[in-house]
Structure formats: C-alpha cells, structure tokens
Amino acid sequence: MSMGLLFPAALAALAVLIVPLIIHIARRSEQQPTDFAALRWLRQRPKPRSRLRFDEWPLLLLRLALLALAALWLAQPVLFGAGDDRPYIAVVPGTQVDPATLGDARLHWLAPGFPKIYDTPPASPLPAASLIRQLDAELPAGTPLTIITPTIIEGADADRLRLSRAVTWRIAPGAMPAPRGTASPAPRIALRSDQAHASGLRYLRAAALAWQPSGKPTAIDSGPLNAPLPAIDQPLFWMGGGTLPATLTQWIKKGGQAIVASDTLMPQNAKAPIPVWRDDEGRPLAQALPMGKGRLLRFTRPLLPSQMPVLLEAHFPARLRLLIAPETTPSRVAAADYAPLTGGRSYDQPPRPLQPWLALLIALLLLAERWLATRRSRSIAP
C-alpha cells in the first residue's frame, strides 16, 4: 500500500501555519500597565533582554495540527493498493448451495451490485457474462475468485470469458432464471408469383403458418408479380423468372429483403453470391447478395420436392425462418464449456479516499482545541 495526493497543489495552504504562531507571539507581548508611587528618584536600571517564547504549548500544537490536517484534506489524500484480498466467492442465482459449507470467504450473489449471499437472490434473468467481467475488473489482482454456477448458464454472450486471473469454476445443481419474453415475433412475409411458380407457394404458406402461435394464423400478403410491393421491413418472396424489375431493385437497395426463384437472373456486375443454406450433403440451397441497404437471396433449385427434398422435411419451416430472420447469438450455454480463460486485461483498482477519516480526526482535534481555549483556568485567549 502507498499513499498519494490527488490535488497536491492544495498543500500551499500550509502557509497559514504562521497564523497560530503570530497569535501566540502577540499574546506573549501584551503589556498590562500597573500604577505605582513616584519612582522618579530611583536610579534607572537597564531593561532586561526579552526572548521569543510561546505560551500554552499544547494549545499551539493543536492549532498547528488542525491547520496542517485541513491543508492535507484539501489535497485529497488517497491510499493505493488497499483493496480487500480475502477470497471471494460469487454464486450464480439459482445455484443450490449451502453457504455454511463455503468457509469464511466473502460470499456474494453474481447479480447487479453483488449483494451478500444471505440477501434474497434476484429472480430476473441476469447478464452473467458481463457480471463476471465486472467482478474481475473490480477485485484486486491478488484476490482469489471462485464462481459457483449451475449446469446451464443463462446470459452468456458471443465472446468466451477471458479474465485477468485464474478462476476456480465450480458447477453445482440448480437452474438460473430463464429469460422471459425474448422470443422474436414471427415474420410476416409477402408472396408475389406468376403461374409458372405458383405450385411452390404452398410450401412457403405452410412454413409461414407454422411460425405463428397455435390458433393464431395471420393473413399472408400474396398477389401477382405486378401487385404493389410490401413494406420495406417485410420479407418478400418473389417467385418469377427473368430479370428483376427496376422497382424491386430499388426496393431492395432501400433496405428490403427479397427471396427470389432459382431461375431469376442476378443483377449484372454483381459480386458472387454467398451460400447461406446448404443441404445435408453440403450443396447450397440458397445464396445471398447484399444490395445497398438490403439483401437479395435466391433459391438454387425450384421449389419442387423432386428438386428440393428439404421442402417435405419437418425442419423446413425453422430453416426457412432462419434464412430470412437469423437469430442473434444464443445466451444459453453449458457451464462446463464456459469456464473462463486467463490472459485478460487487468485493471487498476480505484484508490481508497482518506478524506472521511481526516475529517473525523479534524473534528476530534477541534473539540480538544476548543476545550483548551475556553477552559476557566486560562487567562486571556488569543
């Protein structure tokens, strides 16, 4: 540990230490005249030499100490390296654990604010990964850290945990609070088709109905190729061959997403499309091409079971939904696969301020100074 000053220029206030000295010197040099009889006929004697002396040393020292501490308080003293290095155990809410078996380490929930283990654990879903990183950054570098987690962690993110210290990772029975209301709503699609591709619409309609909650089917915006285009945020299945109309191209560039038939021609001078859906044998079923702010996707085969057997498989609706509305990174992960790695960045710990303790000491010295300055046995106070 070491002490430092955040505002060392405030030590210039130590110049006021001369004030108590002046006050005590002035009090020593006070002269009180005393009336005597006539002394004119007495022989004059030389005046004794005067020496500089201070009266009431305890009071003077108290006043000097008060002013010195006040100047030090203004300089904002802090203590570096004063963090608590006792072992720290963070328990993920939902874990079945007996605090009595964890010894005398500091026990806290892995929750915002890191409440103590004997407080009521939070019941809402938690960003576990972010809380672990925050805890690693706030603890001193030499503090042993243990994390007790259930088998499945809710609230993970895409990056593997990499901390500045080696963590004791313990898995115990239990279950974290599951996130509620996080399922994304089913996308509402629009269908545009000509007679040559009408047979494939049944599979698209069946998939769209499978996305809807049970008993709540929604109407599908369908029509011929010359029907008005849907809203910019609504995926459009354009089942027509040949060149894309200019209106559709502009609609895509403004942010729309269109999925076209296998015999639709891709724009000229476009980059090579990227496969985004493959069958079990690795052959592409759909390709994607960015266009402006939007995206153009194209099936690589006709929507016929003989050409695209995946149309008849049970997971076709889910795969088609992932094609037009990719899911975000999952936040649920097995705890055994999410143990933190080492080598992360270490953070400097914030210094501990000493101003509150100095303020208490100043208050005590001020009471002592007032008692010495106002006691009855004292004559004239400076």
Rounded to 10°, the helix 355-374/57-74 angle is: 160
How high is the pLDDT of residue 297? 93
C-alpha span between 46 and 17 (Å, rounded): 36
Instruction: Tell me: pLDDT of 246 over 80.
Output: yes
C-alpha span between 354 and 298 (Å, rounded): 67
User: In three state form, how does the secondary structure of the chain look?
Assistant: CEEEECCHHHHHHHHHHHHHHHHHHHHHCCCCCCCCCCCCCCCCCCCCCCCCCCCCHHHHHHHHHHHHHHHHHHCCEEEECCCCCCCEEEECCCECCCHHHHCCCEEEECCCCCCECCCCCCCCCCCHHHHHHHHHHHCCCCCCEEEEECCEEECCCCCCCECCCCEEEEECCECCCCCCCCCCCCCCCEEEECHHHHHHHHHHHHHHHHHCCCCCCCCCEEECCCCCCCCCCCCEEEECCEECCHHHHHHHHCCCEEEECCCEECCCCCCCCEEEEECCCCCEEEEEEEECCEEEEEECCCCCCCCCHHHHCCCHHHHHHHHHCCCCCCCEEEHHHCCCECCCCCCCCCCEECHHHHHHHHHHHHHHHHHHHHCCCCCCCC
Three-state DSSP at 242 gives: strand
Mean pLDDT computed over every residue of the chain: 82
Q: For 4-41, what is each residue's pLDDT tens digit?
A: 787 888 778 778 778 777 776 666 554 555 555 555 55
Comparing 74 with 2, the larger pLDDT belongs to: 74
Q: CA 42 → CA 38, 49, 265, distances in Å?
A: 9, 20, 134
Percent residues over pLDDT 70 in the chain: 82
How high is the pLDDT of residue 102? 82
The residue type found at 87 is: P
DSSP letter, residue 197: G
Instruction: Tell me: pLDDT of 141 over 60.
Output: yes
Q: Identify any residues that bridge with 4 across adjacent strands, giving them in sequence order.
A: 78
Average pLDDT over residues 295-310: 93
Count of alpha carbons within 13 angstroms of residue 36, beta-carbon side? 7
Residues 102-111: contacts with CB under 8 Å, at least 24 apart:
105/146, 110/135, 110/147, 110/149
Is-contact 190 228, C-beta < 8 A?
Answer: no
How high is the pLDDT of residue 251? 94
Q: For 257-285, what is each residue's pLDDT tens digit?
A: 999 999 998 887 777 888 888 887 888 99
Lowest mean pLDDT among 35-39, 65-69, 78-82: 35-39
Average pLDDT over residues 275-304: 90
Question: Given pLDDT bands bounded at 50, 70 and 90, which one contains residue 381?
Answer: very low
Average pLDDT over residues 76-105: 82
Average pLDDT over residues 88-93: 91
Q: CA 46 → CA 27, 29, 31, 53, distances in Å?
A: 24, 19, 18, 21
Instruction: Tell me: pLDDT of 221 over 80.
Output: yes
How high is the pLDDT of residue 346? 75
Q: Which of 38-42, 104-108, 163-167 has the highest mean pLDDT?
A: 163-167
Comparing 343 with 255, the larger pLDDT belongs to: 255
* Sequence spans of domains, the chain: 2-28+54-82+351-374, 88-180+332-337, 190-324
Place of tokens 């939902």: 94
Buried b (16+ CB within 10 A) or exposed e, 355-377: eeebeebbeebeeebeebeeeee
Comparing 27 with 202, the larger pLDDT belongs to: 202
DSSP letter, residue 107: E
Instruction: Tell me: pLDDT of 164 over 60.
Output: yes
